[in-house]
A and B are shown apart, each in its own frame.
Chain A
Amino acid sequence: MNALLSIENLSVEFDTHGGVVHAVRDVSLAAYPGETVAVVGESGCGKTVTFQSVMGLIPMPPGRITAGEVTWRGDRMHLGRSAGRDLRGTEIGMIFQDPMSSLNPTMRIGDQIAEPLQVHRGKSRRQALSQAVSLLDQARIHAPERCAKQYPFELSGGMLQRAMIAMAIACEPAMLIADEPTTALDVTIQSDILDLLADLQQRKGMTIVLVTHDLGVVARVADRVAVMYAGQIVESGTVDDVFYRPAHPYTVGLKAALPARSIDPGRDLEPIAGTPPDLFAPPAGCGYFMRCPRAMRVCEGHPPDLVSLEAGHVSRCWLHHDYAADVSLDQA
């Protein structure tokens, strides 16, 4: 099957006062029709920048796409300030981390949902508004008519995220990019939102890209997973591969740090000791070197390549290299 969205060797930098931030380094990723791809990683690893740069949503300057090619349904996309402009709202819908600040505070919810319908589908305001109500209903908001007339400050975070979802799917996009859609919400509401997304995907056959830093969420909803660390993808594969047979030491660390659901479901752990490397000057070798319990001498100075382990399961670590045994002996 052909990929709906395919990102190849994408690199994104930001010019800042402190220097150049290498936020995304050589990221390749594909999403196929109808599947859920999860992108996992700690805060600041470049998940958001990856997708927002593809959609032309990062500020340029200071942002800059330095390398890479992105295709949508096989057609090469223009990357730049207006990247993805023809796709936004129609082919690709997006929802964001903080629903409270992601909606226009002085515009009624209904009007905000109606906007893409008016602009892309040429609907009149009245038609668009009545469709907005039915979209809110699909997003499982109990009193959709009332909600449509309300302003964002009158609704809770969970309701706002549902409204955001209603807005994102208004024009029946082929893909929904959900950037940490539940991070800012109560734990109890988190699973409602995830259920809603899964349900909408079933009914509409949407592709969902789910950005998250919760590996537990990934196991629940994803078909395929990409693990990001310090601007790179360090491991990717099916959810079975990555979650149940993790190959990269970072993924192993993430999984080990998952709280047992029964003990403390809402716990947010900062599990792996240490912090990610400075993206101003990415390390010469493996990005995970400073924190990796299995680091070897080679890891410090030489960046590992992605190694294919099984069909579709890759990991960026020297341990998978043919010489790994020798190298680790060497170090011992």
Chain B
Amino acid sequence: MKRLLQGVVTIWFIATSTFVAMHNVPGNPLLDEKAVSPEIRRNLEARYGLDRPVFPDQYLTYMRNILRGDFGISFTQRNRRVNDILREHFPVSAILGILAIVFAGFGGILFGSLTAVYRNRLPDVVIMVLVVVGISVPGFVFAALAQLGIVGLNEVLGWTVLPVAGWGTLRHLIIPSLVLGLGTMAFLTRLMRSSMLDVLGADYIRTARSKGLPPTRIFFRHQLANASLPVLTVLGPAIAAITTGGFVVELIFAIPGLGRYFVEAVQQLDYTVIMGTTVFYGTFLVVMVLVVDLAYALVDPRVRLE
């Protein structure tokens, strides 16, 4: 309950600061070099309430609309409501993001376990070097490298194994989601390695062995189950990282996701779209963090949410 309240306050804060920021950036969408006739301008101003004082009138309208789930109409795209943009393009981002997080989560747990089990031996050394690369090299570098790689691959094989960019089929999804999940996966691998090492030396693992359980059962029921818990705790921030990383990846791979629209909206000072997406993403992340916390409480009996 307390968390829920915190979440609501966070969302309110995001909405308000977005509002303040938007009203303080230089520029005005209606005072463009493109001539807008005074009549249209007056109509628009009235429609958006721009003729009234910023506070409290505009702010209250803004808040009321947000509560109703109405983010208004795009300034630059003719006749498109922000809600429609969200509805159309968020699923694209979501599919990409979910794939990336699944990939990062499974990869992190798998590689983290491997490095711990083969501690200080070849697999560990190789993977940990890659992890450092994955954490320190920014995502757009991987994106560019991946595109180069795909081009090379397609050329060598003489047919299009994987598309370089675009959207539509499953094959379009693979590389962008891998690239998007890479940094998070590297981070999770490192986390998983240390927590798995802790678990491997734990007394209760010795107990499990003293019970004569088969190694696979010990691994899955006792080691993996406990070592994965820390990974779950950082899943909230991981989702946030992947969400923001998605902006860049969507641009580079020309994926019609929400991230790309957000970047374009910022470039074009499309206020309603910026505010709408910011508030939407903010809410989304707050909800995700809550969901992750709840999931954690379900998995770890020592944590109980009131």
Q: A-side interface residues toward B, CB under 8 Å? A: 52, 55-57, 59, 85-90, 93-94, 96, 98, 101-108, 115-116, 119-120, 151, 153, 164, 167-168
Count of inter-chain pairs, beta carbons less than 8 A: 78
**Is the CB–CB distance between B217 and A88 below 8 Å?**
no
Known A98-B203, A105-B226; contact A115-B301, beta-carbon cutoff 8 A: no
Closest to A164 in B: B207
A101 contacts which chain B residues (CB < 8 A)?
202-204
B221 contacts which chain A residues (CB < 8 A)?
107, 115
Residue of B212, B222, B302 near A120 (CB, 8 A) is B212
Q: Report how far A218 CA is from B302 CA in the complex, Å.
A: 37
**Is the CB–CB distance between B300 and A106 below 8 Å?**
yes
Interface residues of B, count at CB 8 A = 23
Question: Is B56 part of the binding interface, using a Cβ–Cβ cutoff of 8 Å?
Answer: no
Residue of A52, A116, A151 near B212 (CB, 8 A) is A116
B204 contacts which chain A residues (CB < 8 A)?
101-105
A102 contacts which chain B residues (CB < 8 A)?
203-204, 206-207
Q: Report how far A1 CA is from B203 CA in the complex, Å.
A: 35
Closest to B208 in A: A104
Question: Is B211 part of the binding interface, using a Cβ–Cβ cutoff of 8 Å?
Answer: yes
Q: Report how far A90 CA is from B212 CA in the complex, Å.
A: 7
Known A106-B229, A106-B301; contact A57-B203, beta-carbon cutoff 8 A: no
Classify the interface of chain B: helix, strand, loop or mixed: helix
Closest to A108 in B: B301
Known A106-B225, A106-B300, A151-B301; contact A89-B207, beta-carbon cutoff 8 A: no
Q: B-side interface residues toward A, CB under 8 Å? A: 201-204, 206-214, 217, 221-222, 225-226, 229, 299-302
Known A102-B207, A106-B226, A107-B221; contact A153-B302, beta-carbon cutoff 8 A: yes
**Is the CB–CB distance between B203 and A89 below 8 Å?**
no
Least CB distance, B296 to chain A, in whole angstroms? 11
**Is the CB–CB distance between A89 and B213 below 8 Å?**
yes
Least CB distance, A83 to chain B, in whole angstroms? 11
Closest to A52 in B: B206
Known A101-B204, A106-B226; contact A119-B214, beta-carbon cutoff 8 A: yes
Closest to B206 in A: A57
**Is the CB–CB distance between A88 and B299 below 8 Å?**
no
A116 contacts which chain B residues (CB < 8 A)?
211-213
Closest to B203 in A: A101
A119 contacts which chain B residues (CB < 8 A)?
211-214, 217
Least CB distance, B134 to chain A, in whole angstroms? 29
Extra contacts, 13 of them, besides A56-B209, A88-B210, A88-B211 (Cβ < 8 A), are: A88-B209, A90-B212, A93-B210, A94-B210, A98-B203, A101-B202, A106-B302, A107-B221, A108-B301, A116-B211, A116-B213, A119-B213, A153-B301
B203 contacts which chain A residues (CB < 8 A)?
96, 98, 101-102
Residue of A94, A115, A168 near B213 (CB, 8 A) is A115
Least CB distance, B212 to chain A, in whole angstroms? 3
Least CB distance, A105 to chain B, in whole angstroms? 7
Least CB distance, B203 to chain A, in whole angstroms? 4
Q: Report how far A167 CA is from B300 CA in the complex, Å.
A: 22
4 A-B pairs closest in CB distance: A89-B212, A88-B212, A101-B203, A94-B210
B209 contacts which chain A residues (CB < 8 A)?
56-57, 88
**Is the CB–CB distance between B210 and A89 below 8 Å?**
yes
B211 contacts which chain A residues (CB < 8 A)?
88-89, 115-116, 119, 167
- Which of B206, B208, B210, B221 has the most A CB atoms < 10 Å from its CB? B210
Closest to B213 in A: A119
Least CB distance, A148 to chain B, in whole angstroms? 14
Q: Report how far A94 CA is from B207 CA in the complex, Å.
A: 8
Q: Report how far A120 CA is from B211 CA in the complex, Å.
A: 9
Q: Report how far A120 CA is from B207 CA in the complex, Å.
A: 15
A93 contacts which chain B residues (CB < 8 A)?
210
**Is the CB–CB distance between A57 and B210 below 8 Å?**
yes
**Is the CB–CB distance between A96 and B207 below 8 Å?**
yes
Q: Report how far A264 CA is from B303 CA in the complex, Å.
A: 40
Least CB distance, B118 to chain A, in whole angstroms? 13
Closest to B229 in A: A106
Q: Report how far A86 CA is from B213 CA in the complex, Å.
A: 10
- Which of A55, A88, A106, A167 has the most B CB atoms < 10 Å from its CB? A106
Known A106-B229, A107-B221; contact A55-B210, beta-carbon cutoff 8 A: yes
Closest to A101 in B: B203
Q: Report how far A167 CA is from B208 CA in the complex, Å.
A: 10
Least CB distance, A163 to chain B, in whole angstroms? 11
A57 contacts which chain B residues (CB < 8 A)?
206, 209-210
Q: Report how far A102 CA is from B206 CA in the complex, Å.
A: 8
Closest to A89 in B: B212
Q: Report how far A116 CA is from B206 CA in the complex, Å.
A: 14
B201 contacts which chain A residues (CB < 8 A)?
59
Least CB distance, B225 to chain A, in whole angstroms? 6
Least CB distance, B117 to chain A, in whole angstroms? 13
B202 contacts which chain A residues (CB < 8 A)?
101
Q: Report how far A324 CA is from B36 CA in the complex, Å.
A: 117
Least CB distance, A303 to chain B, in whole angstroms? 33
Least CB distance, B211 to chain A, in whole angstroms? 4
Least CB distance, A275 to chain B, in whole angstroms? 26
Least CB distance, B199 to chain A, in whole angstroms? 10
Q: Report how far A88 CA is from B214 CA in the complex, Å.
A: 11
Least CB distance, B231 to chain A, in whole angstroms? 14
**Is the CB–CB distance between B212 and A105 below 8 Å?**
no
Least CB distance, B179 to chain A, in whole angstroms? 34
List 21 A-B pairs, Cβ < 8 Å: A88-B210, A89-B212, A89-B213, A90-B212, A96-B203, A96-B210, A102-B203, A102-B206, A103-B204, A104-B207, A104-B222, A105-B301, A106-B225, A106-B226, A106-B301, A106-B302, A115-B217, A116-B213, A119-B213, A120-B212, A153-B301
